[in-house]
């Protein structure tokens, strides 16, 4: 028995030592994690896009300021402990200068550590709790918050003369949080709208027929759905089952996905969503770069999330570039100073051209662009209707 214990301990110790040894870190490292496999893997174009942009820089310009960027893309699996583990790997082992996290939960749990580590952190989340330029100076996001998105949709409804509203959302943080904020803020009443019902459903739902019957019985002017694409697909499918038109439904930025018209066909016509980023394939300068990249590499996802990823890549690399330039053109050897410098340069970004993916981005408010517009599914494709509306 003693032998067993001894040999096991030695074995485990070796394993831990191997895993714990800091890797030979490159000068310039950027670390990304996302749900590569997991419940919201459908939207992981956001992570691939960022990784691909840095790869693009490496391939066409030799990196940033002549320094190749070492990019690491990890799988967070939408599990908090995996994401926390990835954070430590990024900051501690890889010595990354910029970290791109995924879930709202992880950015909340990591708030203090990000502050202590003083590492620039770009989050995929649009939760208002992750946005605080004063208290969370190192955390950045890539667009308007969920609340702001909802307000844009509501404003749109109010101007078109609608009155009754139903909100649907899943029973997770992503669903409840923003909805509660908007609901308790009083803005719905201020816009002259009447919230007749709020419906919560399980986030891994496969069947919402009963809920849709409930919605149908109230006959609202608008149903705002604060959900991810997989859930929205269930919503629209079951709406069709009970005879409701997709025209009544509006979703947030995560509902601009080719999967929706693809899987629902006719039942998706008329559905509207908030669009912050231009869709993949639209006639913008950034698409030229993406297509050039695609010619030589494999592009995992071709959707609006990929565009968000590309957008993040652009703004992150611009900040890093400015920081290197400030250091006389070489990568600073002190990683702490480098990170702080990148953060300062990030906040200093003003009216940056992001190739048409969004209107010019400024990061003084840590958000980039707070403008959005409404896009509607017509003939199986998302068509922008109306102008860019500013959430602020």
Partner 1 sequence: MYALQLATAGLAIGSVYALIAIGVVLIYKCSGVVNFAQGAFVMLGAYFTYAITRLGLTPVIAVFLSTVLMAVAGAATERLVLRPMLKAPVVAIMMVTLGVLIFLRAVALAVWGPDQIAFPKLFPDGAIEIFGIFITYNYLTAGSLSICLALAFLAFYRFTAIGLMQRCTADNSRAALAIGIHTSNQISLAWSMSAGLAGLGGTLLATLNGLSLGLSDIGLIAFPVIVLGGLTSLAGAVVAGLLLGVLQAFTDGLVTPMLEGLLRAYTTIYSVGALQQVLPYALLILVLLVRPQGIFGWRGSERL
Partner 2 sequence: MSGTRLWITFLVAAAACVLALMLGRFGAYLMHAVVIASISALALNLLTGFCGQISFAQAALLGVGAYTAGNLGNAGWGILSIPVAGMASAASSALIGLPALRLRGLYFAIATLAAQFIFDYAFKILDPLTHGVSGLLIKPLTILGYVVQSDQAYAVIAIICLFVTWLTMVFIGETTLGRAFLVVRENEIVAKGMGIDVARTKLWAFVISGFFAGVAGALLAFTTRLASPEAFGLSLSIDYVAMIIVGGLGSLPGSLLGAAFVTLLPELIQRVGEALNIADILSAAREMAFGLLIIVFLIFEPRGLSALLHRLASRSQTNIALKTPQPTSERRRSELGLKLEKVE
The yes or no reply on residue 201 touching partner 1 (CB under 8 A) is: yes
The region of 8-16, 184-192, 306-314, 328-336 touching partner 2 under the rule CB under 8 A is 8-16
Q: Name which of 82 and 376 has its Cβ closer to partner 2.
A: 82
Query: String of b and e for 297-336 (b: at least 16 CB within 10 Å)?
Result: eebebbbbbbbbbbbbbbbbbbbbbbbbeebeeebbeebe
The yes or no reply on residue 51 touching partner 2 (CB under 8 A) is: no
The region of 204-212, 282-290, 291-299, 380-388 touching partner 1 under the rule CB under 8 A is 204-212
The yes or no reply on residue 1 touching partner 2 (CB under 8 A) is: yes
List the interface residues with partner 2, window 109-148 (CB under 8 A): 109-110, 112, 116
List the interface residues with partner 2, window 19-38 (CB under 8 A): 19-20, 22, 36-37
Site string for partner 1, 207-226 (x = CB under 8 A): x-xxx-xx--x---------
The yes or no reply on residue 353 touching partner 1 (CB under 8 A) is: no
Residue selected from 9, 10, 364, 383 as contacting partner 2 according to rule CB under 8 A:
9
Residue selected from 28, 30, 32, 42 as contacting partner 1 according to rule CB under 8 A:
42
The yes or no reply on residue 195 touching partner 1 (CB under 8 A) is: no
What minimum distance in Å lies between the beta carbon of 313 and partner 2? 19
The region of 87-95, 199-207, 282-290, 304-312 touching partner 1 under the rule CB under 8 A is 199-207
Residue selected from 26, 41, 348, 360 as contacting partner 1 according to rule CB under 8 A:
41
The yes or no reply on residue 185 touching partner 2 (CB under 8 A) is: no
Site string for partner 2, 141-180 (x = CB under 8 A): ------------------------------xxx-xxx---
Q: Name which of 37 and 159 has its Cβ closer to partner 1.
A: 37
Residues that bind partner 2 (CB under 8 A): 1-5, 7-9, 12-13, 15-17, 19-20, 22, 36-37, 73-75, 77, 79-82, 84-85, 88-89, 91-93, 105, 108-110, 112, 116, 171-173, 175-177
């Amino acid at each position: 028995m003693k032998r067993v214990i001894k040999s096991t301990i030695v074995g485990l110790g070796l394993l831990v030592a191997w895993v714990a040894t800091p890797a030979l870190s490159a000068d310039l490292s950027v670390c990304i994690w996302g749900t590569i496999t997991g419940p919201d893997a459908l939207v992981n174009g956001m992570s691939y896009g960022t990784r691909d942009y840095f790869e693009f820089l490496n391939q066409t310009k030799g990196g940033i300021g002549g320094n190749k960027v070492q990019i690491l893309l990890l799988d967070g699996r939408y599990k908090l402990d995996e994401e926390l583990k990835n954070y430590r790997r990024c900051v501690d082992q890889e010595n990354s200068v910029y970290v791109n996290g995924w879930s709202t939960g992880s950015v909340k749990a990591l708030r203090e550590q990000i502050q202590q580590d003083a590492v620039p952190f770009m989050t995929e989340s649009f939760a208002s709790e992750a946005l605080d330029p004063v208290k969370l100076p190192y955390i950045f996001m890539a667009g308007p918050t969920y609340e702001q998105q909802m307000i844009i949709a509501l404003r749109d409804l109010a101007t078109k003369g609608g009155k009754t509203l139903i909100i649907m959302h899943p029973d997770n943080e992503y669903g409840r949080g923003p909805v509660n904020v908007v609901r308790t803020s009083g803005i719905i009443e201020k816009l002259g709208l009447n919230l007749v019902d709020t419906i919560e459903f399980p986030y891994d739902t496969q069947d919402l027929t009963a809920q849709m019957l409930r919605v149908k019985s109230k006959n609202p002017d608008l149903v705002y759905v604060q959900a991810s694409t997989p859930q929205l697909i269930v919503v629209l499918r079951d709406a069709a089952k009970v005879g409701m038109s997709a025209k009544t439904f509006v979703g947030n930025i995560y509902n601009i996905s080719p999967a929706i018209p693809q899987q629902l066909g006719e039942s998706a016509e008329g559905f509207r969503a908030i669009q912050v980023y231009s869709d993949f394939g639209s006639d913008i300068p950034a698409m030229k770069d993406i297509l050039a990249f695609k010619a030589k590499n494999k592009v995992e996802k071709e959707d609006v999330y990929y565009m968000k990823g590309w957008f993040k890549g652009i703004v992150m690399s611009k900040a890093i570039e400015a920081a290197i330039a400030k250091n006389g053109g070489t990568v600073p050897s002190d990683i702490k100073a480098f990170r702080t410098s990148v953060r300062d340069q990030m906040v200093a970004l003003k009216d940056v051209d992001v190739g048409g993916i969004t209107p010019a981005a400024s990061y003084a408010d840590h958000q980039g662009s707070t403008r959005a517009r409404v896009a509607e599914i017509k003939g199986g494709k998302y068509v922008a209707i109306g102008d860019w509306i500013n959430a602020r």
